[in-house]
Structure formats: structure tokens, C-alpha cells
């Protein structure tokens, strides 16, 4: 009996010893843990380069099975078992580390460290080849599914790193965030470079075509003068020297246009004319006979050399402006810009130079200061009528005994002498307003 008791005690002690040895090598844990970051990758093995089984979100709960180095082996509520880094979870309670597993992990880490130096070049090359460019603004998904939760938005032309591919989904890393994106939203660096080259080439081709078209249009463009006498100047300015003067309906070749001036070539000479003195078609001149009359549409040609006299000073500038309207229609009560009566014409011209005049010819006789006929200068207003109280017409003196004025419905804006005929006989006085 005593012998049996001894044998039984030996068996119990042996069983206890075996149990102690077993639990020394393998630790079972029933602890739980919560994900402490927005996104955590559950990997197949305790390795950063291991395949991602699933991505977990903040506060998801998992069951902790054991700890291996700085990794926890866990099981999700969907019974997926894998590994999480310890910095991604918050564990309730203590988890003992398995000795065998730890030794294996240490061996793996040691092996990794041993081979890391020899594989540096290979890894670097792989990372470079795994770089992709985002085609358009897109939101990363937490898992590879269209209806999955969005994580963060990546912008067009962002560079990202490919982690793994699953069908037509790609897991990428952007900064410190990893997520899933459709493969058609990415392109390689080579594809991006080719796309940029094609876009640049297309832009250059379009620009060159536009320049060529503009050059052809300018080279082939011919216009005609629409004023009795047009000054061609050295530069695009009314103060520039006159190269030559050309008459009504002269054909000119247009070279370029800028700020109200047109660069032209005429009679082997090059210069600038005011753009409003050119038209795309010739002006029609007045031809009168007993049977018919052709209506003038533009300027009336001048008969004397005196008409082309160019005056200096402010008055001369007013005269130049007034001449630009030669040939415009006379309409009673009109004050521009396309038709005028006599006082409407003078009011409009002086308004362009910042001078405000009364609206009627008689009213304008009270503007400015009186000027003797012998002292007339270009730019002076000249009034006509049967008497001082009966003033009914006004014009602008241009020098050489002539005025530019809106004469009547049949002649429009034109030039006449005041030294003979009606205007000589009905001269009343003159005023200087500039």
C-alpha cells in the first residue's frame, strides 16, 4: 500500500513538472486590445514587409493571443488571425511573451539584420520602381472596396509608393498613411513624363500655328485710306515726324496694329497711321450731274495744297482730330460719333480734347475769348450768319483761310474757304477756346 502511494505521488509530481515545462514555452492569453490609431494593418507574419490581411480602424477590438517581440498575435471578431505592431494597439492587462516564439522572432530579426546590408541596393531599386503618380484628386479607401470608408485624399501629381496589388486595387503609401486606390487612378513616372512631353509639344504646335496664321493674315491684309489727307508718321504718335502724306482711297499694306495705330507700307515707305483713318474697302466719292447723284460715304478730296497744312500746338491737335471726320454725314441735331450738324461737330471734337462747348452755334459765340479775323489760328471757332444775333453756323479754322465743318446734308463734314463766297460774305466773328 505504501509502495502504491509512493508511485502515485511520483506520477503526480511528473505531471506537474510537464505542465510547468509546457506553460513555460507557450503562453495562452485571453486578453483583449483596442486599435489606438486611425488605420492599422493586420499582417500575415510579424514582419513589416508581410502581406496585409485586413485593415482595422480606430477602437476596433481584437483578442490578443500572444506577444512576439514588438508584435502581438491577435484574432479579429471575424476570426482572422494575424500580427499587429504593439504601438498600434492598447492592450488591457499584461501579456507574457512566448519564449519559443521570441527566440524564433529574434532569430528572424537577426537574419534580417544580417541580410539587410547586402539587399540595400535591391530594396532601393524596388521602391523606385514601385513609385506611382496620382492622375487626379482621389480619396484612399480603408479596404479595397468602392463603398469602403475614405481615409485621406491624395492630390493630382502626388507621388506614392505601391505596397501591394489586389485585382484592380492597389495599396499605396502616401506620407505616413496607407490605403487602397483603383489602379486606373495611378500612372508610372515614365507615363507621366511622356504625358508632359506630349502636352508641351501640343502647346508649342498650337502656339506656332497661331503665330503663323497671324503672320499670314497681316502679310495679306490690304486697307484703304478713308480721309482726304492721311499723315504717315515715323512712330505711333501724333507728335512724330511725318514720313509722307497719302490721299483718299490709297491702298496700303498692313504690317501690324497696336494701341489705335497701324503700321503700314505704302509707296516703298514704312510708317504709322491712326487706325481710324483706314477702312477695308474704298470710300465712294460724290459725282453730281443733272440726272443723278452718288452719295458720298467717306471723305471729300481737297483741292488745294493749303488744306494739308499741319499746325502745331493745341489748336493744331484739334485740327488733326477734326480732319479725321471728313466725309461723315450731316444730320440735323446730331452730335456724333457717326453723324453731326455744325455745332454738334465742333462740340464733339473739342470734347475729345477736354473742352466743353455750348450746344448751338450762337451759344458757342459766348465761349472762350474773341479773336480778330486777322489773328485767326488753327483750332479757333469761326461763326457765320446774317448778323451777330442771327448766327446760324460754326466751323473750326484749320489755317490758310479754310475751315473744317459739318456743311449740310449733301456734303457732310468737309473743308471750305472763308475768303470768298457765302462764308466770306456771312462772316460774323471768331472765338478761341483752347
Q: Are residues 69 and 39 in the same domain?
A: yes
Helices 2-25 and 99-116 cross at an angle (nearest 10°) of: 30
Q: What local confidence, expressed as pLDDT, does residue 18 receive?
A: 66
pLDDT in tens, 56-66: 888 899 999 99
Residues labelled as active-site residues: 342, 393, 405
Q: Which residue has the higher pLDDT, 303 or 367?
A: 367
Q: Are residues 278 and 325 in the same domain?
A: no
d(CA 227, CA 96): 105
pLDDT at 315 > cutoff 80: yes
Exposed / middle / buried, residue 361 (Cβ in 10 Å: 0-12, 13-18, 19+): buried
343 phi/psi in degrees, rounded to 5: -75, -25
d(CA 187, CA 136): 10
Q: Are residues 110 and 137 in the same domain?
A: no
Does 390 reside within a domain? yes
Q: For strand 229-233 and strand 222-225, is the pairing parallel, antiparallel, or unpaired?
A: unpaired
Q: Are residues 286 and 385 in the same domain?
A: no
Sign of CA dihedral 99, 103, 109, 112: negative
Number of domains observed in the structure of the chain:
4
Q: Are residues 307 and 430 in the same domain?
A: yes
Tell me what percent of the residues of the chain surpass a pLDDT of 90: 40
d(CA 339, CA 330): 6
pLDDT in tens, 94-127: 776 665 544 444 444 444 443 443 343 333 333 4
380 three-state secondary structure: coil
d(CA 170, CA 133): 13
With cut-offs at 50, 70 and 90, classify the pLDDT of residue 26. Answer: very low
pLDDT at 428 > cutoff 50: yes
Cβ-based neighbours of 198, under 8 Å, separated by 6 or more: none
269 three-state secondary structure: strand
Q: Are residues 173 and 272 in the same domain?
A: no
Provide the total of helices (H) and of strands (E) in the chain, helices listed first. 8, 31
d(CA 309, CA 242): 12
Does 11 reside within a domain? no
Range of the domain at 380: 302-434
Does 287 reside within a domain? yes
Mean pLDDT to the nearest integer, 361-366: 94
d(CA 173, CA 179): 7
Q: What local confidence, expressed as pLDDT, does residue 212 receive?
A: 74
Cβ-based neighbours of 263, under 8 Å, separated by 6 or more: 236, 254, 255, 256, 257, 270, 271, 272
Which pTM does this prediction carry?
0.34
Does 279 reside within a domain? yes
Tell me what percent of the residues of the chain surpass a pLDDT of 70: 77
Query: In the listed set 62, 90, 116, which residue is the last one of a domain according to the structure?
Result: 116
Query: In the listed set 173, 190, 207, which residue is the last one of a domain according to the structure?
Result: 190
CATH number where 89 lies: 2.30.30.40
Range in 116-125, 137-146, 189-198 the model is least confident about: 116-125
Q: What local confidence, expressed as pLDDT, does residue 174 receive?
A: 87
Q: What local confidence, expressed as pLDDT, does residue 176 receive?
A: 84
Task: Output b/e per residue, 194-221; b: 16+ Cβ within 10 A.
Answer: eeeeeeeeeeeeeeeeeeeeeeeeeeeb
Q: Are residues 386 and 367 in the same domain?
A: yes
pLDDT in tens, 366-413: 999 999 999 999 999 999 999 999 999 999 999 989 999 999 999 999
Q: Are residues 307 and 387 in the same domain?
A: yes
Does 203 reside within a domain? no
d(CA 255, CA 241): 19
DSSP code at position 308: G
Q: What local confidence, expressed as pLDDT, does residue 226 receive?
A: 86
Number of other residues whose CB lies within 10 A of the CB of residue 325: 23
Q: What local confidence, expressed as pLDDT, does residue 292 receive?
A: 35
Q: Are residues 257 and 340 in the same domain?
A: no
Does 398 reside within a domain? yes
With cut-offs at 50, 70 and 90, classify the pLDDT of residue 140. Answer: very high
Q: Are residues 252 and 272 in the same domain?
A: yes
Task: Output b/e per residue, 235-244; b: 16+ Cβ within 10 A.
Answer: ebeeeeeebe
With cut-offs at 50, 70 and 90, classify the pLDDT of residue 17. Answer: low
Does 1 reside within a domain? no
Q: What local confidence, expressed as pLDDT, does residue 284 receive?
A: 66
Q: Are residues 265 and 328 in the same domain?
A: no
Q: Are residues 148 and 267 in the same domain?
A: no
Does 2 reside within a domain? no
Mean pLDDT to the nearest integer, 11-17: 69
Nearest in space to 271 (alpha carbons), one of 247, 246, 244, 250: 244
Q: Which residue has the higher pLDDT, 29 or 328?
A: 328
DSSP result, 129-196? HTEEEE-S-EEEESSSSTTSPEEEEE-TT-EEEEEEEETTEEEEEETTEEEEEEGGGEEEHHHHHHHH
pLDDT in tens, 255-287: 888 878 999 998 889 999 998 899 888 876 544
d(CA 164, CA 166): 7
pLDDT at 289 > cutoff 70: no
Query: In the listed set 267, 293, 319, which residue is the last one of a domain according to the structure?
Result: 293
pLDDT in tens, 65-96: 998 889 999 999 888 899 999 889 888 877 76
Q: What local confidence, expressed as pLDDT, does residue 6 receive?
A: 64
Range in 207-211, 222-226, 234-238, 362-366 the model is least confident about: 207-211
Amino acid at each position: 500500500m505504501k509502495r502504491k502511494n509512493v508511485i502515485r505521488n511520483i506520477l503526480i509530481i511528473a505531471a506537474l513538472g510537464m505542465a510547468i515545462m509546457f506553460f513555460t514555452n507557450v503562453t495562452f492569453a485571453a486578453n483583449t486590445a483596442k486599435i489606438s490609431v486611425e488605420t492599422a494593418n493586420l499582417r500575415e507574419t510579424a514582419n513589416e514587409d508581410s502581406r496585409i490581411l485586413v485593415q482595422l480602424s480606430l477602437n476596433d477590438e481584437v483578442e490578443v493571443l500572444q506577444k512576439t517581440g514588438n508584435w502581438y498575435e491577435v484574432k479579429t471578431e471575424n476570426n482572422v488571425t494575424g500580427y499587429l505592431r504593439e504601438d498600434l494597439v492598447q492592450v488591457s492587462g499584461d501579456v507574457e511573451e512566448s519564449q519559443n516564439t521570441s527566440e524564433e522572432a529574434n532569430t528572424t530579426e537577426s537574419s534580417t539584420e544580417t541580410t539587410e546590408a547586402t539587399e540595400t541596393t535591391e530594396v532601393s531599386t524596388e521602391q523606385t520602381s514601385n513609385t506611382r503618380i496620382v492622375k487626379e484628386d482621389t480619396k484612399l479607401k480603408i479596404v479595397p472596396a468602392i463603398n469602403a470608408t475614405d481615409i485621406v485624399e491624395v492630390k493630382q501629381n502626388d507621388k506614392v509608393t505601391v505596397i501591394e496589388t489586389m485585382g484592380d486595387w492597389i495599396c499605396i503609401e502616401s506620407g505616413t498613411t496607407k490605403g487602397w486606390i483603383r489602379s486606373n487612378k495611378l500612372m508610372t513616372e515614365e507615363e507621366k513624363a511622356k504625358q508632359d512631353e506630349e502636352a508641351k509639344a501640343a502647346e508649342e504646335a498650337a502656339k506656332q500655328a497661331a503665330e503663323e496664321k497671324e503672320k499670314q493674315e497681316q502679310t495679306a491684309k490690304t486697307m484703304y485710306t478713308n480721309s482726304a489727307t492721311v499723315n504717315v508718321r515715323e512712330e505711333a504718335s501724333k507728335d512724330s515726324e511725318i514720313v509722307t502724306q497719302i490721299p483718299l482711297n490709297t491702298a496700303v499694306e498692313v504690317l501690324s496694329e497696336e494701341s489705335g495705330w497701324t503700321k503700314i507700307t505704302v509707296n516703298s515707305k514704312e510708317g504709322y497711321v491712326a487706325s481710324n483713318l483706314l477702312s477695308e474697302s474704298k470710300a465712294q466719292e460724290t459725282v453730281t450731274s443733272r440726272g443723278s447723284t452718288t452719295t458720298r460715304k467717306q471723305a471729300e478730296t481737297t483741292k488745294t495744297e493749303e488744306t494739308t497744312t499741319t499746325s502745331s500746338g493745341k489748336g493744331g491737335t484739334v485740327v488733326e482730330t477734326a480732319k479725321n471726320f471728313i466725309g461723315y454725314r450731316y444730320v440735323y441735331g446730331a452730335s456724333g460719333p457717326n453723324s453731326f450738324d455744325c455745332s454738334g461737330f465742333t462740340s464733339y471734337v473739342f470734347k475729345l480734347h477736354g473742352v466743353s462747348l455750348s450746344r448751338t452755334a450762337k451759344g458757342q459765340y459766348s465761349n472762350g475769348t474773341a479773336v480778330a479775323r486777322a489773328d485767326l489760328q488753327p483750332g479757333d471757332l469761326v461763326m457765320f450768319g446774317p448778323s451777330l444775333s442771327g448766327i446760324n453756323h460754326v466751323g473750326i479754322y484749320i489755317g490758310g483761310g479754310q475751315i473744317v465743318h459739318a456743311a449740310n446734308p449733301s456734303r457732310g463734314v468737309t473743308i471750305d474757304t472763308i475768303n470768298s463766297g457765302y462764308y466770306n460774305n456771312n462772316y460774323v466773328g471768331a472765338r478761341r477756346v483752347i
